[in-house]
Homo-oligomer: A and B are copies of this chain.
């Protein structure tokens, strides 16, 4: 249940303030060159403490590969990666030991398990997503061999929406902003919330380029369905769109259908997916993050013993979890596409026969 994917499956472990977090990546084809520098560079994109727009917790997030790689190449056996926690301050959390933070998973974990690791949210902390990024980096290395790329950026913060989606711009922006003309306003919104001991929501837009037509396993491991699960499963995500998404529910069929010409589709309202299967066009997702639930204003809540208290959180938190979240969206998208590529290999008899010739 802490695993994702069918043929390329990753499993993660670890708590925010435990010894370490990490993952297993199982099912990766043998013979892929594993560029550890690249994996680390992906983790560096997600790691906390890089700017005032992020939590002040500083983690080196140094990843170590424990298995599955020999002489620089994947061997086909599970790749275990580990990231030791170095900057956990568990004592920060003794004050929330018996209190359920509003908007957090404290209450639900306690309901489900009867106990919880209260230190920094334990397993439910977004810290776990570092392990996804490590796995996703390897998936990206695999996709690169097939000329498939995964790009993303922040399209909206606190309702301030981008008019353009410049993925190159996003790479160099400290908040991964897709629209240079909106970046400053978005930064201001984050800092204003932060100064008010509050937080803001945001939106990540993900673009998958170069995916061949035919990916997705209908009817219950569809590409859009699995991408939706992958994104909705990221901490703080509350909505997912494919292509035009919500908008497509408001228009006419004649407006929404993508006409087809000999050299491709005339438009891409579908976001690259028809009937749950990729159509060869760009795959486009919008992923909506709620504001970080960790705020420093006083809130109504209860204790484990169901006593009502007014409670103001302390600690170190991202004022806009969508920012670092966009890197996680990319990683999850990469893992989904890599899995689908492997699953799709058996879809035609002639492909099977030629494989074994």
Contacts and interface: CB of A to CB of B under 8 A. Distances in A.
Given A30-B349, A103-B257, 14 more contacts: A1-B26, A2-B218, A14-B80, A30-B115, A30-B348, A102-B257, A111-B280, A142-B349, A228-B228, A232-B240, A238-B270, A249-B289, A253-B290, A345-B346
Contacts of A73: 115
A240 B286 CA distance: 11
Interface in A287-304: 288-295, 297, 299-302
Contacts of A29: 346-349, 351-352
The DSSP consensus for interface residues of chain A is mixed
Interface in A328-357: 341-353, 355-356
Contacts of A245: 238-239, 288
Given A77-B15, A238-B244, A112 B258 contact: no
B260 A302 contact: yes
Interface residues of A, number: 161
Contact of A27 (B32, B107, B293, B346): B346
A341 B198 CA distance: 36
A50 interface: no
Contact of A295 (B111, B242, B257): B257
A49 interface: no
Contact of A222 (B232, B254, B278): B232
A196 B199 CA distance: 47
A61 interface: no
Interface string A185-201: 00000000100001111
Contacts of A42: none
For this chain, the copies found in one complex come to 4
Interface in A236-289: 237-246, 248-262, 266, 269-271, 273-280, 288-289
Interface stretch (A16-24, A51-59, A165-173, A174-182): A16-24
A275 B233 CA distance: 9
Contacts of A259: 102, 299-301
A59 to B, nearest CB: 16
Contacts of A229: 225-226, 228-229, 232
Contacts of A145: 349, 352-353
A35 to B, nearest CB: 14
B249 A203 contact: yes
Contacts of A269: 290
A230 interface: yes
Contact of A67 (B9, B20, B74, B344): B20
Contacts of A68: 13, 15
Contacts of A299: 254, 257, 259
A291 B347 CA distance: 29
A100 B350 CA distance: 23
Nearest 9 pairs of A and B residues by beta carbon: A105-B275, A225-B233, A199-B253, A108-B277, A30-B113, A259-B300, A253-B291, A228-B232, A229-B229
